[in-house]
Amino acid sequence: MNAIESIGELRKKLQEEKVNPVGWKRPWGYKTFQRGPSIYITRLLLPFPIKPNHVTFAGLVLGITGCLFVLQFEWYLKITGIVLLYFHLLADRVDGEIARYKEIHSLQGIFWDHINHLVIPPLFWLSLVFGLSRITIFQMRYLFLVGALGALALAVIRVVHSLPAQIYAKKFLKYRAVFQLESTQAKIGNDVTRPRKTSVLINFIRPLHQLQDFFTIIILTALILVFERIFFLDYIFHVPLTYFIFIASALFVLFALENIIKKSRSVEQDILKIASSEY
């Protein structure tokens, strides 16, 4: 068996395009706390006959198990659940790295990867809400409502980004002659040449969008749990954590609405770009 490359060589080979994507920036902590440790796990697993789908399924089990721990009353069980969810995120990085190294490409694997992303964040949020419902000082019906809306918004945020590709595959390819995208193509050309301006307000609120990232969500949750426990701020009733759920859920809903509006305005451009990439 050939010797496995060094960590540095593996980072360059398996992570470069993921860590530094063209045209956009990864959220906080992605490079250091996710891709940083994941390459060590990948290198450890590469000599074994482990396929990417094995890691994907293991990550899904870790995610569901973590959510069950978060659902519990005791704060240390919630922390344990968050640790498991962190390893769930690492598994989500490792499966792709193994796939690229071993050149194993599977549409089924991509399907389960999307299921992972779609199910675990909303499930975590619901587990957090239901886990607090019987001990918080706030009225349960309000907490349930806000938490459920937040979980739904997390799912919507994920789905909206992939809708143009779904529309392309299900509708555009079948009825290509019906859709007129010439004007859209001209608009894309104008958008490319037009300089983009960002207001002071946009630059101010942009960091809030980091809260859409699942890693950021679980880290903030863990920090609040530890803060409550250390300073004994009614940690039995989790008052700061409950406020966090209300505020974050409201932001999730706003982010979902923002993404829906933006994607509705750009869906034709996105589909045209997908169609153009065929040729």
Higher pLDDT, 88 or 184: 88
Hey, what are 254's tokens? 């706003």
Amino acid in the structure at residue 31 = K
- The H-assigned helical ranges of 134-213 are 140-167, 182-193, 200-205
Amino acid in the structure at residue 168 = Y
Distance in angstroms (rounded) separating the CA atoms of residues 93 and 123: 20
Cβ-Cβ contacts under 8 Å for 161 (sequence gap 6 or more): 259, 263
The domain 7-276 belongs to what CATH superfamily?
A: CDP-alcohol phosphotransferase transmembrane (TM) domain (1.20.120.1760)
The secondary element (H helix, E strand) that includes residue 136 is: none
In the three-class reduction of DSSP (H, G, I as helix; E, B as strand; rest coil), residue 15 is classed as coil
Amino acid in the structure at residue 247 = I
Is residue 7's pLDDT more than 80?
yes
Q: Where are the domains of the chain?
A: 7-276
Return the minimum-mean-pLDDT range out of 18-32, 52-66, 121-135, 181-195: 181-195
228-260: pLDDT as tens digits:
888 876 556 678 888 999 999 999 999 999 999
Distance in angstroms (rounded) separating the CA atoms of residues 253 and 251: 5
Residue 154: CB atoms within 10 A of its CB come to 27
Distance in angstroms (rounded) separating the CA atoms of residues 182 and 258: 26
Q: Could you tell me if 124 and 67 are in contact, meaning their C-beta atoms sit under 8 angstroms apart?
A: yes
Is residue 210's pLDDT more than 60?
yes
Distance in angstroms (rounded) separating the CA atoms of residues 205 and 15: 29
Residue 134, phi then psi, degrees to nearest 5: -90, 0
The closest of 107, 105, 151 to 129, measured between CA atoms, is: 151
Helices 75-102 & 52-70, crossing angle to 10 degrees? 170
127-166: pLDDT as tens digits:
999 988 666 777 788 888 999 999 999 999 999 988 988 8
Is residue 186's pLDDT more than 50?
no
Higher pLDDT, 175 or 190: 175
Q: Could you tell me if 122 and 155 are in contact, meaning their C-beta atoms sit under 8 angstroms apart?
A: yes
Is residue 267's pLDDT more than 70?
yes
Q: Could you tell me if 126 and 66 are in contact, meaning their C-beta atoms sit under 8 angstroms apart?
A: no
Distance in angstroms (rounded) separating the CA atoms of residues 61 and 54: 11
Hey, what are 199's tokens? 């207001």
168-184: pLDDT as tens digits:
888 888 877 787 765 55
Is residue 277's pLDDT more than 80?
no
Higher pLDDT, 134 or 10: 10
The answer to whether the Cα torsion of 228, 208, 216, 29 is positive or negative is negative
Residue 121, phi then psi, degrees to nearest 5: -60, -50
